[in-house]
Structure 1
């Protein structure tokens, strides 16, 4: 156990540095995009649609690649596959650190879109599978919550740093942080799943190696099983996994709405700039860090991940409802503490999923959930970007500038329905999964 704890500590450092590199640029990218393509303007439809298009392409790539990367990590090890997204983080920031003219912005835009397909979701998915490898089921929710909390802590630190950095320094710091993450991981992080012995307990055998005479089982090596075929079999194996997939889709749909449209809404509605967004994110992720590091390890054994998931989704809807009717600029700051509970949804869902599969399928299971969420991120810009642009313009059918924000929260509200079914239904054990597989 000491070895596993030591490995997790090195994982936390890698996750922190990688997330810091991603998130330190977020408060500044809106201003950079506007200055590059719509200088001296507070509203710019092209910037909204361009950002939405990037988000959709990144989501499409993640949807296709994450199950494959997760499956490969089950076979070849977490570290080998985690090296890819961590290394790819370096290139976009280097471009903007060198120069930020319009041509360089478009170069950054293309490179960031291509690398984001792997790095954005890969850095969230693979560490969760790594943590699940290292911890027994009883402690898995705490480990996954801490991984999420370290990511949120990186956001807090990066957002705080933005207040003291110029735009040029922001991308330089991002380049240094991503390079440090790749070097540190290469030197110190050990692989997690080489020690797994699935012969000791038949429950820990991979689902697709079960001795069932049906179309989804196979006596071949996991290397020979197509990852998308594996995904289909996993989803058909458990009602809980199907419900988790529905929740992941709806959560990703709403999450995509707050990535870009929400920021443009705040800029157009209240004139928020880089510093305003940095303060808002600092409040938001400060609360999220506290809840993920402190509340999840304490609440999960008492009320269970299913109850945490329901409460988190309710908090998400309440947050966007109030933001949608905000009448002055300070209201978003006040309700920014709601994500302290909202951000408990992902670790709770990931913990639920991790308990439905064996150790050799953590990567494919987490990759599947991440891929579904990424698919929702593809659809999100096509829904919320036009809606945000419409209700912020004079063409709005009725006077409700925050209507698109309300619709974002509506996705979280709908997700409560399948989450309640998990909470009060009968969760499938892996024994049952193996009996009813496909």
Structure 2
């Protein structure tokens, strides 16, 4: 199945919208719920910070292992079948907090979310991007990826807006219902992409690296027991200069995005006394800019400047945003700084578009899964670095007075990512790999 128009992906867009709405109506409320369950009547809670950081690390580790697997299996069995897994998994945590939000319910949510989040948090975006990239022509691929990302951001925007006006109990009920509707809608309306038939299984060496270790033959069997080994994933990521540089940017972007989660929110709560409503407004501003940038700016700028230039600009914007928030002197400063996501949120779709052009349609799942997995690896390290910094510089034991120093360090991840992002333009725009229906080979 090959699609010529973005309108052919409309059912995928609806699924992405509903699933992302369910995921993003929750974050404005979860910080208050966590602190309230663990440290009642307190604004600062070290236990909440460390538990959230630990969960983020486990989610990153799980995503790093699961996303390449899900992507690869989607190349074989069809993307709709595998997309069902993360969409359906997101239902369970919301149901738990819809029932109750006491300490016991919170711990139940915490445990379940730690497992389901491994596939749902990034898996929905990863498999949706792979679906769009594999089923639309290459010249329209950047627009398709931008639309998938933009619709996800628009759903995040409306989810955050809903959280601003819904009660805490209603938030989780709405999230559960939205996930359920997304699952049912996808199963009914989204067209299945055909997985590889037996005749299409890769019997040729999947990776050829000029006689290097990667040149050893490796058949890909259609079973869960014989998936791509870690060695072949590394060979794929090393197969071109562009993919190697994209891997570095993905890792650093994951490191920065991880720092924008738990450390960022707890800094605002402890330093500026932000609550659920403040978080909702802040996210509302950010997602509005992100949706506008991904839906309107990226499809228009990419043909002119190229995804590589957009990637570099978004890294700069990410650093500036964190720098401004780190020295916030008033409540309104984070709101102003959050206007920059109109550019900084283009990092991921620009990177995904670059990667999609390095492989053929039958390997979009594994390629997007690998990049998402590398980004998740950055999310593993992020709480290990930023959580202790957050706790230290918000306490009286800080070596110097700079409460936002942890956010400055978050911004440094994007500043460093600027270097490989600027080098991507010197690499080949497309690798030698173009995978047909029958097999593939890759020349480094």
Q: Which band: TM-score by shorter chain?
A: over 0.9
Q: Residue 207 of structure 1 contacts residue 357 of structure 1 at CA under 8 Å; is this kept in 2?
A: no
- Please report how far the alpha carbon of residue 192 of structure 1 lies from its aligned counterpart in structure 2 after TM superposition: 2.9
- Please report how far the alpha carbon of residue 100 of structure 1 lies from its aligned counterpart in structure 2 after TM superposition: 1.0
Match for residue 107 of structure 2? 106
Check if 1:178 corresponds to 2:179: yes
SS in structure 1 of the partner of residue 165 of structure 2: coil
Match for residue 388 of structure 2? 386
Distance 2:237 2:42 in 1: 47
Distance 1:327 1:384 in 2: 21
Output one character per residue of 1:330-353: Cα deviation in whole Å (capped at 9) or x when no partner.
011111110110001100000000
Check if 1:9 corresponds to 2:15: no
Match for residue 216 of structure 1? 215
Distance 1:207 1:294 in 2: 41
SS in structure 1 of the partner of residue 206 of structure 2: helix
Check if 1:437 corresponds to 2:438: no
SS in structure 1 of the partner of residue 150 of structure 2: helix
Q: Residue 391 of structure 1 contacts residue 400 of structure 1 at CA under 8 Å; is this kept in 2?
A: yes
Q: Residue 320 of structure 2 contacts residue 411 of structure 2 at CA under 8 Å; is this kept in 1?
A: yes
- Does the C-alpha gap of structure 1 residues 321 and 193 become closer, same or farther in structure 2, counting only changes over 3 Å? farther
Higher share in helix: 1
- Please report how far the alpha carbon of residue 212 of structure 1 lies from its aligned counterpart in structure 2 after TM superposition: 8.1
SS in structure 1 of the partner of residue 306 of structure 2: helix
Match for residue 240 of structure 1? 242
- Does the C-alpha gap of structure 1 residues 346 and 237 become closer, same or farther in structure 2, counting only changes over 3 Å? same
Q: Residue 240 of structure 2 contacts residue 428 of structure 2 at CA under 8 Å; is this kept in 1?
A: no
- Does the C-alpha gap of structure 1 residues 225 and 267 become closer, same or farther in structure 2, counting only changes over 3 Å? closer
Map 1:281-296; keep pairs closer than 5 Å. 281-296=283-298
- Please report how far the alpha carbon of residue 219 of structure 1 lies from its aligned counterpart in structure 2 after TM superposition: 7.1
Match for residue 402 of structure 1? 404
- Please report how far the alpha carbon of residue 207 of structure 1 lies from its aligned counterpart in structure 2 after TM superposition: 7.7
- Please report how far the alpha carbon of residue 432 of structure 1 lies from its aligned counterpart in structure 2 after TM superposition: 9.6
Map 1:263-278; keep pairs closer than 5 Å. 263-278=265-280
Output one character per residue of 1:350-375: Cα deviation in whole Å (capped at 9) or x when no partner.
00001001111100000000101111
Match for residue 343 of structure 1? 345
Output one character per residue of 1:179-217: Cα deviation in whole Å (capped at 9) or x when no partner.
000000000001234599x99xxxx99981779877435
Q: Residue 227 of structure 1 contacts residue 364 of structure 1 at CA under 8 Å; is this kept in 2?
A: no
Q: Residue 206 of structure 1 contacts residue 361 of structure 1 at CA under 8 Å; is this kept in 2?
A: no
Match for residue 71 of structure 1? 72
Q: Residue 233 of structure 1 contacts residue 437 of structure 1 at CA under 8 Å; is this kept in 2?
A: no
- Please report how far the alpha carbon of residue 326 of structure 1 lies from its aligned counterpart in structure 2 after TM superposition: 1.1
TM-score, length basis structure 1: 0.94
Check if 1:31 corresponds to 2:21: no
Check if 1:373 corresponds to 2:375: yes
Match for residue 334 of structure 1? 336
Output one character per residue of 1:98-133: Cα deviation in whole Å (capped at 9) or x when no partner.
111110110000001010011111111000000101
- Please report how far the alpha carbon of residue 136 of structure 1 lies from its aligned counterpart in structure 2 after TM superposition: 1.3
- Please report how far the alpha carbon of residue 66 of structure 1 lies from its aligned counterpart in structure 2 after TM superposition: 0.9
Structure 2: gaps (5+ residues): none
- Does the C-alpha gap of structure 1 residues 325 and 207 become closer, same or farther in structure 2, counting only changes over 3 Å? farther
Aligned residues: 433
Distance 1:248 1:233 in 2: 17
- Does the C-alpha gap of structure 1 residues 337 and 213 become closer, same or farther in structure 2, counting only changes over 3 Å? same
Distance 2:196 2:298 in 1: 27
TM-score, length basis structure 2: 0.92
SS in structure 1 of the partner of residue 215 of structure 2: coil
Distance 2:268 2:211 in 1: 57
Match for residue 230 of structure 2? 228
SS in structure 1 of the partner of residue 131 of structure 2: helix
Distance 1:4 1:432 in 2: 22
Match for residue 47 of structure 1? 48
Q: Residue 126 of structure 2 contacts residue 369 of structure 2 at CA under 8 Å; is this kept in 1?
A: yes
SS in structure 1 of the partner of residue 161 of structure 2: helix
